[in-house]
């Protein structure tokens, strides 16, 4: 299952984060120092933490400004929710539950008293007594008629099905949920009185069967909850404290393990993970290092000793090869000056060593390499060791990954995070623009804290009152723009980022089925507003590059298209207008090329169905319809929802008109920038 939404409340600096969306693969949390990003990850981990992680403690974890409410009894930890998560079921989850529950979402929350709770969202409602009482009345009326007894006998009167049913449900209210205990009682009543159902009466036989199914219906609800709870992902939090040491004295470490004197956070945890990855305990390797070679005449002892040494050697070598491969995927070597050519884990007596073989063939201890390289080695050691038993079904929480890596190494590590996220949904915090790709802005959630009274807030849209919160995004865009602005001979200038998302996502869909192929040598540049298109176009044109502009046909687009400088720079044929690809929509925007599809997405995303209005007003801009009918409508949120939709869809999910319009647009772009 996948986490799709979350909310944190009443936890340290967080009063109420607000509900925020979580992406299917990876979600990026950005924000200034002291905004509460790390606190947010720690709270999320409490949804389903590993056993060794500390439980919630009101004194430490409840907002300090409100702690007096706990001590005075004004607030009860049993009723204070800390973290809530909503999960989308995957096919493997749905295969284990009844059909009527397969469209549910799974909601989990944990309160300050550490008790977890769960429920189903969009699931069939639980059955109440009122839902089945009429059928029971008809059932026992039929049974009474078929009871072969003396009606004047008071003792027999008390045993009538109607009387026993009334005694059974006497203290139940109409709104009583048919609990597990109630279901057992009703089932027993039905079975005990089955003999009074007229044989051959199909109507009453059917009623009896349906009542049996209904009284047990809520038990299925409980079974589904229990099944999903067992499949809830574990939340694994990684931070920068864990480090693998270059030289480990095995006997000393083994003694600390035996005496429970480990320093988990700063020293021993990384070392223990390395041993776990190797498949040995510290004591096993230490004893092997102390074992003298057996007598040459004892062939069996010699063979056993050799087998143990070979096992150690092969496992150390396998781990070395695996780590080297992963390090190389990020720490790309410079052909003129190779780096990190080979990572080796070796055992020598009582010492386990981690060394790097340089381009000269010289072994260098790990601690003589850069902090960034040491962090990378430690990350992979800890990750692979923990993955052996935790990460098969886990959500990864990475706190400031790659902080000590150079910017370009961080950019490479971004690919590693994406690779990890393909198997394990990942949420990570960062200040670095190099860990936010220009095509990943829809993954970003801005974390900020305006003041301590309001606490930490999470914004699903890219907005913040604090410029520092958006700095990594601005730097990421600036860096990408600086590198790409003059790197491509062909450039298409777009009004804004949402236009970029629509074009990029739709072009990828159409390219996959060979319906239309946007030239991959065309650089897409968004100017943040229609008014700035002319500046970007002028600068690019001044460098003798081919330039075209795609403008909406709304008022802002018309004004930009009529600017003398833009017309002079590009010429009319290189100014592409969206209305040329939409039938009879004079103020068409790029969204009008996806009218029907976006209407469906708005229904799912905002819960508002404007299908009839879209059909009845075909000449009206679809954004105009959404804005008037959908409270709190956001073009940004809609575009992001479309990008998510496109990743799991193919061109056949678009209408024929939409496919045709986009094909014409892409062909026009390719033609003017050929």
Burial of 573 (0-12, 13-18, 19+ CB in 10 A): exposed
Total domains in the fold of the chain? 4
Picking from 216, 250, 273, the residue at the C-terminal end of a domain is 216
Does any domain span residue 474? no
Lowest mean pLDDT among 148-152, 262-266, 480-484, 558-562: 148-152
Does any domain span residue 489? yes
The Cα–Cα gap between 493 and 532 comes to: 10
> Which residues, including other chains, have CB under 8 Å from residue 623's CB and lie 6 or more apart?
589, 591, 592, 635
pLDDT band for position 380 (cuts 50, 70, 90): confident
Q: Are residues 456 and 594 in the same domain?
A: no
Q: Are 503 and 467 in contact (CB under 8 A)?
A: no
pLDDT at 71 over 90: no
Rg (CA), the chain: 33
Q: Are residues 383 and 501 in the same domain?
A: no
Kindly report, residue by residue over 133-143, the tens digit of the pLDDT. Answer: 999 999 999 99
What is residue 328's predicted lDDT score, i.e. its pLDDT?
73
Q: How many CB atoms lie within 10 A of CB 419?
A: 12
Helix or strand (DSSP H, E) at 117: strand 116-121
Q: Are residues 540 and 653 in the same domain?
A: yes
pLDDT at 603 over 70: yes
pLDDT band for position 144 (cuts 50, 70, 90): confident
pLDDT at 606 over 50: yes
What is residue 333's predicted lDDT score, i.e. its pLDDT?
52
Q: Are 462 and 62 in contact (CB under 8 A)?
A: no
In this prediction the pTM is: 0.68
Picking from 339, 374, 389, the residue at the C-terminal end of a domain is 389
Does any domain span residue 221? no
The Cα–Cα gap between 24 and 564 comes to: 45
The Cα–Cα gap between 120 and 635 comes to: 30
DSSP letter string over 234-251? EEEEE-TT----SEEEHH
Q: Are residues 297 and 417 in the same domain?
A: no
Q: Are 93 and 104 in contact (CB under 8 A)?
A: no
Nearest partner of 642 among 623, 629, 670, judged by Cα: 623
Q: Are residues 117 and 165 in the same domain?
A: no
Does any domain span residue 51? yes
Does any domain span residue 591? yes
Does any domain span residue 135? yes
The Cα–Cα gap between 492 and 522 comes to: 7
Q: Are 362 and 349 in contact (CB under 8 A)?
A: no
Q: Which domain holds residue 75?
A: 1-125+390-468
The Cα–Cα gap between 26 and 424 comes to: 9
Q: Are residues 423 and 545 in the same domain?
A: no
The Cα–Cα gap between 123 and 133 comes to: 22
Does any domain span residue 289? yes
Does any domain span residue 143? yes
Please report which residue ranges of 526-594 form alpha helices under DSSP H. Answer: 533-542, 555-561, 564-570
Q: Are residues 621 and 589 in the same domain?
A: yes
Q: Are residues 494 and 625 in the same domain?
A: yes
Q: Are residues 513 and 632 in the same domain?
A: yes
Q: Are residues 101 and 158 in the same domain?
A: no
Kindly report, residue by residue over 279-311, the tens digit of the pLDDT. Answer: 888 888 787 777 777 777 777 888 887 888 888
What is residue 148's predicted lDDT score, i.e. its pLDDT?
56
The Cα–Cα gap between 251 and 260 comes to: 14
Picking from 363, 389, 415, the residue at the C-terminal end of a domain is 389
Q: Are residues 534 and 660 in the same domain?
A: yes
pLDDT band for position 320 (cuts 50, 70, 90): confident
What is residue 95's predicted lDDT score, i.e. its pLDDT?
94
* Arithmetic mean of pLDDT over the chain: 84
Q: Are residues 511 and 493 in the same domain?
A: yes
């Amino acid at each position: 299952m996948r986490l799709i939404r979350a909310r944190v409340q009443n936890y340290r600096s967080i009063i109420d984060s607000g509900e925020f969306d979580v992406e299917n693969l990876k979600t990026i949390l950005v924000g200034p120092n002291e905004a509460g990003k790390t606190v947010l990850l720690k709270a999320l981990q409490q949804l389903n933490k590993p056993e060794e992680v500390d439980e919630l403690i009101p004194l430490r974890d409840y907002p300090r400004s409100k702690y007096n409410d706990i001590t005075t009894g004004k607030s009860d930890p049993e009723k204070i929710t800390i973290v809530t998560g909503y999960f989308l079921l995957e096919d493997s989850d749905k295969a284990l539950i009844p059909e009527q529950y397969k469209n549910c979402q799974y909601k989990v929350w944990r309160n300050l008293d550490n008790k977890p709770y769960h429920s189903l969202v969009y699931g069939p409602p639980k059955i109440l007594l009122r839902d089945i009482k009429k059928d029971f009345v008809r059932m026992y009326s039929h049974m009474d008629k078929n009871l072969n007894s003396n009606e004047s006998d008071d003792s027999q009167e008390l045993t009538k099905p109607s009387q026993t049913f009334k005694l059974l449900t006497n203290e139940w209210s109409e709104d009583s949920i048919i609990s597990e205990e109630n279901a057992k009682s009703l089932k027993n009543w039905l079975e005990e009185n089955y003999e009074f159902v007229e044989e051959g009466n199909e109507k009453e036989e059917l009623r009896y069967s349906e009542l049996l199914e209904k009284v047990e219906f809520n038990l299925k609800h409980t079974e589904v909850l229990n099944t999903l709870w067992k499949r809830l992902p574990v939340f694994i939090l990684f931070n920068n404290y864990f480090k693998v040491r270059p030289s480990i004295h095995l006997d000393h470490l083994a003694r600390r393990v035996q005496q429970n004197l480990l320093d988990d956070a700063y020293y021993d945890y990384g070392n223990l993970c390395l041993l776990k990855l190797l498949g040995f305990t510290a004591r096993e390797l230490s004893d092997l290092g102390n074992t003298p070679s057996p007598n040459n005449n004892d062939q069996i002892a010699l063979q056993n000793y050799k087998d143990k040494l070979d096992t150690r050697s092969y496992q150390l070598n396998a781990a070395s090869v695996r780590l080297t491969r992963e390090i190389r995927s990020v720490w790309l070597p410079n052909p003129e000056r190779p780096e990190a050519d080979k990572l080796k884990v070796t055992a020598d007596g009582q010492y386990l060593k981690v060394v790097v073989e340089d381009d000269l063939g010289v072994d260098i201890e790990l601690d003589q390499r850069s902090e960034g390289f040491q962090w990378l080695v430690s990350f992979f050691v800890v990750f692979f060791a923990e993955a052996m038993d935790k990460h098969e079904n886990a959500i990864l929480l990475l706190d400031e990954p790659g902080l000590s890596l150079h910017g370009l190494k961080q950019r490479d590590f971004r690919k590693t995070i994406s690779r990890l996220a393909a198997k394990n949904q990942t949420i990570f915090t960062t200040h670095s623009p190099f860990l936010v790709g220009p095509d990943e802005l829809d993954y970003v959630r801005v974390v900020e804290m305006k003041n301590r009274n309001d606490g930490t807030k999470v914004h699903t849209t890219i907005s913040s009152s604090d410029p520092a919160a958006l700095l990594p995004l601005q730097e990421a865009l600036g860096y990408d723009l600086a590198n790409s602005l003059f790197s491509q001979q062909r450039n298409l200038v777009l009004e804004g980022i949402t236009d970029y998302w629509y074009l990029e996502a739709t072009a990828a869909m159409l390219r996959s089925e060979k319906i239309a192929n946007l030239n991959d040598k065309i650089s897409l540049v968004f100017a943040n507003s229609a008014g700035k298109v002319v500046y970007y176009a002028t600068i690019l044109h001044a460098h003798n590059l081919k330039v075209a502009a795609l403008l909406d046909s709304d008022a802002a687009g018309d004004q930009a298209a009529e600017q003398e400088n833009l017309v002079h720079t590009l010429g009319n044929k290189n100014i592409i207008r969206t209305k040329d690809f939409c039938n009879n929509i004079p103020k068409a925007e790029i969204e009008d090329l996806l009218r029907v599809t976006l209407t469906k997405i708005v229904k799912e995303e905002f819960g508002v169905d404007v299908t009839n209005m879209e059909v009845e007003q075909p000449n009206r801009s679809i954004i105009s319809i959404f804005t008037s009918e959908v409270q709190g409508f956001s073009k940004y949120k809609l575009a992001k929802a479309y990008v998510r939709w496109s990743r799991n869809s193919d061109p056949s999910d678009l209408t024929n008109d939409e496919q045709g319009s986009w094909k014409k647009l892409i062909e026009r772009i390719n033609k003017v920038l050929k």
